[in-house]
Structure 1
Amino acid sequence: MNKTVKELQDHFRQLRLAETSEELPQLLREAEKASWTYLEFLEAITSFELNKRETKSIERRIKWARFPYYKTLLEFNVEEQTALTARQLAQLQEFSWLEQQYNLILLGPPGVGKTFLAIGLGIEAIQRGFQVYFVTMGELIQLLKTQEFTHKSQVQIKRIQASDLVIIDDLMYMAMDQREANLFFQLINHLYERSSIILTSNKSPDQWTELMGDEGITTAILDRLLHRVEVIHMEGDSYRMKNRQHVF
């Protein structure tokens, strides 16, 4: 039963192993050159396919996360601010807080690296197999208000609800009316003890009531957000000001 390489490639494609099909000639050359055993050859094929599938899965989840930019924690300079030590950052990267549905609140003035840190943690969480979604507060309110009659909003809200980690950027940058606050509460209530949330804000939780305008709703939201939470106060000079480009 002699099959040509092309015929074997066609079989791999029929089995939906397209990546392995393309790589098969190279794998056969390596097997012949190194005198692989049958078991070693099978291991090479399955490892190649699994690695390709994991890479594609990560790429898909990165796309779904909708990060505004791609910056990893390797680019985050802990020494430029005093709120977080290298040891504390390493502990965050262990993601035990995410496995236990704890929340993170990153507080501080604009430009100190809150969003940078949140995105870096989000990217690494995806690489660990978690589903992540990034949204600004303004975008989130718009999604919540239009989900009843817009299919696109419905899809995005479902992705948020299905995520292991939801990053909400610029929380409380603007006031909410009662309907918006109610919609936000419903989402937080749904995510409570199902998902972890990272919030970035330049306003502390004790200032949120005046922006929501309803003490009862604010209390209910805070009760769920602060039940299991780590609050990090980020200080220092603005990253953007430090790294700004000069025209002259």
Structure 2
Amino acid sequence: MTTTTAVSTSLPHRRGLTEQASDAAVEQACRMLRLPTIRANFAELADEAAAEQMSYRGFLAELLMAECDDRARRRAARRIKGAGFPRDKSLRAWDFDANPHVDAATVHTLAKCEWVRKGLPLCLIGDSGTGKSHLLIALGTEAAMAGYRVKYTLATKLVNELVEASDDKQLSKTIARYGRVDLLCIDELGYMELDRRGAELLFQVLTEREEKASVAIASNESFSGWTKTFTDPRLCAAIVDRLTFGGNIIETGTDSFRLAQTRTKAAGPADNASI
């Protein structure tokens, strides 16, 4: 005859710890469970809970939500860092009044990242100083904060990396790596002419991502001028098609508000008052 041992499902025995011992126990438990936010804030939150006569459930919820919120912030910070943005740019710092060409409603809709979820492209077209890179980085940052994997690169840097990978017989691996990110941000497309090989390699990256993952580009050239960058007309047309089909196009205009701001600062308050 075999006997079965009953497994107790009752709560652990209360230890009756003093307040000092309780603090030490919480500290140790948080280290073991890897809960750094609770470990850093539980004493302050406990005092606040006591002062506000918060229920035990309410206090526990506050602790756990604080830990979850902080973990989400740390994950977002890692994704932003991993994206490789050259500088911090946010939508909060964008001045819609300074650039009336850019529609605020469109940008705020893009900031919700539905286009990234659907794998749609985005093109930012305009002259130097009109804020293309600012918007590219800011919208890329929004995507990273929303949980998407983002990678930023300059067009020439990407092409050079692809050429080197091809020479080293690592092209498939490199293209696959760029294919895994949810949003690929390519800046300064159109500043330099690409030879046929470089253009074809870039086309492979775009084809790998087509209708599966988003590409956002910033270019100082209108689409009609892309033949300066992609000298093969048929390849140029195919790349334009990949980057525009079903996506969004934002034209930031030709007037450099960056130059205007520089001139305003140089003029000084006295000169500005006389205008």
TM-score bracket for this pair, using the shorter chain length: 0.7 to 0.9
Pick one of 156, 177, 183 that aligns with 1:138.
156
For residues 89 and 46 of structure 1, what CA distance do their matches in structure 2 show? Answer: 34
Query: TM-score when scaled to structure 2?
Result: 0.80
Instruction: Calculate the aligned-residue CA RMSD, in Å.
Output: 2.7
Determine the structure 2 residue equivalent to 1:187. Answer: 205
Report the equivalent of 2:272. Answer: none
What is the CA distance between 1:158 and its match in structure 2? 6.0
Aligned partner (choices 195, 201, 217) of residue 177 of structure 1: 195
Aligned match for 2:222, one of 200, 204, 209? 204
Q: Please tell me whether the aligned partners of residues 147 and 157 of structure 1 are also in contact (alpha carbons under 8 angstroms).
A: no
C-alpha change, 1:150 and 1:13, in structure 2 (3 Å) is farther
* 1:10 aligned to which of 22, 25, 28: 28
Aligned residues: 247
* C-alpha separation in 1, matches of 2:233 and 2:90: 38
Which of 239, 262, 270 in structure 2 is aligned with 1:221?
239
Partner of residue 143, structure 2 = 125
Q: 1:90 to 1:22 in 2, by over 3 A?
A: closer
Structure 2 CA distance for partners of 1:44 and 1:154, relative to 1, 3 Å: farther
The offset of 1:168, in angstroms, is 0.7
Which is further off, 117-126 or 186-195? 117-126
Q: Normalising by the residue count of structure 1, what TM-score does the alignment of the two structures yield? A: 0.87
Largest Rg, 1 or 2: 2
CA contact (8 A) 2:38 2:66 kept: yes
Larger CA deviation: 167-176 vs 203-212: 203-212
SS in 1 for 2:190: coil
Which residues of structure 2 form unaligned runs of 5+? 1-14, 269-275
Deviation for aligned residue 1:87: 2.6
Structure 2 SS opposite 1:79: coil
Contact 2:195 2:231 in 1 (8 A): yes
- Partner residue of 2:93? 75
- The sequence identity of aligned pairs, in percent, is 29
Does the 8 A contact of 1:133 with 1:159 survive in 2? no
Q: Which residue of 1 aligns with 2:124?
A: 106
Q: Which amino acid aligns with 1:31?
A: A
Partner of 1:41: 59
Shift of 1:48: 0.8
Q: Distance in 1 between matches of 2:73 and 2:143?
A: 14
Give the stretch that moved more between structures: 79-88 or 37-46: 79-88
> Over residues 75-128 of structure 1, what are the superposed CA-to-partner deviations in whole Å (9 max), with x where a residue is unaligned?
211222232223333333333322222211111111111111112212222222
**Amino acid aligned to 2:101:** A
Q: Deviations over 1:58-87 (max 9, x none)?
A: 111111111121121122112222322233
Match of 1:27 in 2: 45
The equivalent of 1:163 in structure 2 is 181
Code of the aligned partner of 2:114: S
2:119–2:213: 8 Å Cα contact kept in structure 1? Answer: yes
The offset of 1:34, in angstroms, is 2.3
- What's 1:237 paired with? 255
8 Å CA contact 2:101–2:251 kept in 1: the answer is yes
Taking the aligned partners of 2:57 and 2:158, their CA distance within structure 1 comes to 51
Please give the alpha-carbon distance, in whole angstroms, between the structure 2 residues aligned to 1:139 and 1:239: 27
Q: Deviations over 1:35-74 (max 9, x none)?
A: 3222112101110100110110111111111112112112
Counterpart code for 1:177: D
- Maintained 8 Å contact 1:80/1:236: no
